[in-house]
Amino acid sequence: MGGVGDLYHHFLEAVDQAAISSAAWRGLGEKDKADEAAVEAMRR
């Protein structure tokens, strides 16, 4: 059985994709759109 360390790469990939997806909304004053983009990216 794997430990928490096994999840590290999955977590990092999800966070990276969330940051990339929400970056398009940076500086536009669209906090909700940025959040939606990040959440959708992490769900994939």
28-39 pLDDT, tens digit per residue, is 999 999 999 999
SS3 assignment, position 10: helix
Cα–Cα distance, 41 to 22 (Å, whole number): 9
pLDDT (0 to 100) of residue 4:
75
pLDDT tens column, 3-43: 777 888 999 999 999 999 999 999 999 999 999 999 999 99
Residue 1 has a pLDDT of 54
Q: Give the pTM.
A: 0.77
Of 2 and 20, the one with more pLDDT: 20
The pLDDT value recorded for residue 2 is 67
Distance CA 17, CA 37 (A): 10
C-alpha 32/C-alpha 9 separation (Å) is 27
